[in-house]
Amino acid sequence: MSQSRALTANQVNAISKDGVHWVAPSLYMQVRDHGTRSWLFRYSRGGTNQWMGLGSTDEKPLSDARDEAAMLRVLVKRGEDPIASRREVQAQRKVEMKPKVPTFAECASQYIASHKQGWKNEKHARQWPSTIEMYVNPFIGKMQVDQITVEDVLKVLKPIWTSKAETASRVRGRIEQILGWATAMGYRTGENPAQWKGGALPHLLPATGKVSKVEHRKAVPYQDVPKLMAELRKNGSTSAKALMFTILTGARTTETREATHAEIDRRAKVWTIPAGRMKAGREHRVPLSDEALKLIDSDPANSKYLFPGQAGYALSNMSMLQLLRGIRDDGSTVHGFRSSFRDWAAEQTDFPREVVEACLAHALGDGAELAYKRTDFLQRRRLVMKAWASHSSS
């Protein structure tokens, strides 16, 4: 109903009948049966009346409601829709109030920082950030973690899936773990686009076992080991001593690189490698020949490591391999000396197979058999390593 003069505050307060009551141009008051009173703004949009709530009369006095209605009338005359404008403002506020979703690179850094204390060796700790930086971040590092899809993961994996199958498999697993962490932190929801089992990737990529050709690391023939050892003695560098020690003990590269003086019992002639640094996750005792002991006795004990690199850190991962390549150009690897040792033991000795394998920290037998096997053949292995040192020094 049209009114010529706006109601006063007293007149508004006197209204008690349920319904919608005109108060001023475009301004109405709604009274409900339970006594609540609120302001309404009415305007026409597309030939249809629209009603917009302006709040409770208890919280907003008549003067403020009248001023707000006057301002909204101006907006309507300009062609604007007050309700649509309010929704836009509310949506923007929700966006501004929503916690910022971190990028994949930020999540990766946080994941690494929170998990690196549990990683068992320095190589593993270095590989995580380096593989993420090299293979992942160029593609999805700057993406918000909740926006990453299977297609994005494929962009990372396809360039290396067939050419670097083993690396690609590790990268996929690391992406999966980081995205899983992001989900646990509440940064993303839904399935993990990097998961393999039960995920989409097996339908889009061939299994790595079908595209990766297993290439055994080339080994120096055991007949050539004595000549190589002679070359290494002439060299006399820390890398040469580390490589000789690796050959004489049948150790893996990282086991030697990260070996410390604290792990050596010179009186008992035993090197005890902690479980955390072993591939199988079990402590391994290595009987040391006199030749192996001489290599570490010649080094000062003022460093944590038996064979320290620059600034007292562990020897570089490539130092022994580069030295070997400088002596032999046949592609032989440091890890291959474990095969050299095994071939020598099989062809030149009568030592039992289980004792020889124990020298390499290989456990033979099924789970039940291993559960009851309490010996590590230390004394019998001492004889094997002594004979191997004799062969290597001949």
Can you give the chain as a three-state secondary structure string?
A: CCCCCCCCHHHHHHCCCCEEEEEECCEEEEECCCCCEEEEEEEEECCEEEEEEEEECCCCCHHHHHHHHHHHHHHHHCCCCHHHHHHHHHHHHHHHHCCCCCEHHHHHHHHHHHHHHHCCCHHHHHHHHHHHHHHHHHHHCCCEHHHCCHHHHHHHHHHHHCCCHHHHHHHHHHHHHHHHHHHHCCCCCCCCCCCCCCCCHHHHCCCHHHHCCCCCCCCCCHHHHHHHHHHHHHHCCHHHHHHHHHHHHCCCHHHHHCCEHHHEECCCCEEEECHHHCCCCCCEEEECCHHHHHHHHCCCCCCCECCECHHHCECCCCHHHHHHHHHCCCCCCCCCHHHHHHHHHHHHCCCCHHHHHHHCCCCCCCHHHHHHCCCCCHHHHHHHHHHHHHHHCC
Going by C-alpha positions, the residue among 333, 273, 331 that lies closest to residue 306 is 273
The Cβ-side half-sphere exposure at 107, using a 13 Å CA radius, reads 30
Q: Which of 36-40, 261-265, 308-312, 349-353 has the lowest mean pLDDT?
A: 308-312
pLDDT at residue 367 in the model = 45
Tell me the mean pLDDT in the region 382-390.
Answer: 95
User: CA-CA distances (angstroms) from residue 155 to 23, 109, 130, 187, 194?
Assistant: 63, 21, 18, 22, 11
Q: Which of 26-35, 86-95, 134-143, 318-327 has the lowest mean pLDDT?
A: 86-95
Confidence of residue 99 (pLDDT cuts 50, 70, 90): low
Name the residue type at position 81: D
pLDDT over 80 at 387, yes or no: yes
Confidence of residue 160 (pLDDT cuts 50, 70, 90): confident
Average pLDDT, rounded, for the chain: 87
pLDDT over 50 at 370, yes or no: no
> To 10 degrees, the CA torsion angle through 319, 323, 326, 329?
-90
The percent of residues in the chain predicted with pLDDT above 90, rounded, is 56
The percent of residues in the chain predicted with pLDDT above 70, rounded, is 90
As assigned by CATH, the class of the 9-97 domain is alpha beta
- Are 317 and 123 a contacting pair, CB within 8 Å? yes
pLDDT over 80 at 119, yes or no: no
pLDDT at residue 271 in the model = 95
Comma-separated ranges of CATH 1.10.443.10 domains in the chain: 222-392
The Cβ-side half-sphere exposure at 286, using a 13 Å CA radius, reads 27
Largest pairwise CA distance in the chain? 120
Q: For residues 380 and 359, give the distance between their C-alpha atoms in angstroms, rounded to a whole number.
A: 10
pLDDT at residue 21 in the model = 93
pLDDT over 70 at 267, yes or no: yes
pLDDT over 70 at 298, yes or no: no
Comma-separated ranges of CATH 1.10.150.130 domains in the chain: 104-211
pLDDT over 60 at 127, yes or no: yes
Residue 73 sits at φ, ψ, to 5 deg, of -60, -40
Q: Which of 172-186, 244-258, 310-324 has the lowest mean pLDDT?
A: 310-324
Q: For residues 147 and 100, give the distance between their C-alpha atoms in angstroms, rounded to a whole number.
A: 13
Going by C-alpha positions, the residue among 97, 113, 100, 96 that lies closest to residue 181 is 113
Comma-separated ranges of CATH 3.30.160.390 domains in the chain: 9-97
pLDDT at residue 89 in the model = 85
Tell me the mean pLDDT in the region 360-388.
Answer: 72
User: CA-CA distances (angstroms) from residue 214 to 72, 88, 91?
Assistant: 75, 59, 56
Global confidence as pTM: 0.49
Q: Of 118 and 327, which is predicted with more confidence?
A: 327
pLDDT over 90 at 70, yes or no: yes
pLDDT over 70 at 301, yes or no: no
pLDDT over 50 at 364, yes or no: yes
Tell me the mean pLDDT in the region 196-217.
Answer: 75
Rounded to an integer, what is the distance from CA 366 to the centroid of its chain? 32
pLDDT over 50 at 368, yes or no: no
Q: Of 232 and 208, which is predicted with more confidence?
A: 232
pLDDT at residue 372 in the model = 39
Q: Which of 103-107, 256-260, 286-290, 353-357 has the lowest mean pLDDT?
A: 353-357
| Structure tokens given for 306 | 């038996």
Cβ neighbours of residue 2 closer than 8 Å, sequence gap 6 or more: 22
Q: Of 385 and 275, which is predicted with more confidence?
A: 385
Q: Please provide the CATH number assigned to the domain covering 104-211.
A: 1.10.150.130
Q: Please provide the CATH number assigned to the domain covering 222-392.
A: 1.10.443.10
pLDDT at residue 110 in the model = 94
Confidence of residue 120 (pLDDT cuts 50, 70, 90): low
pLDDT at residue 214 in the model = 46
Going by C-alpha positions, the residue among 59, 53, 22 that lies closest to residue 39 is 53
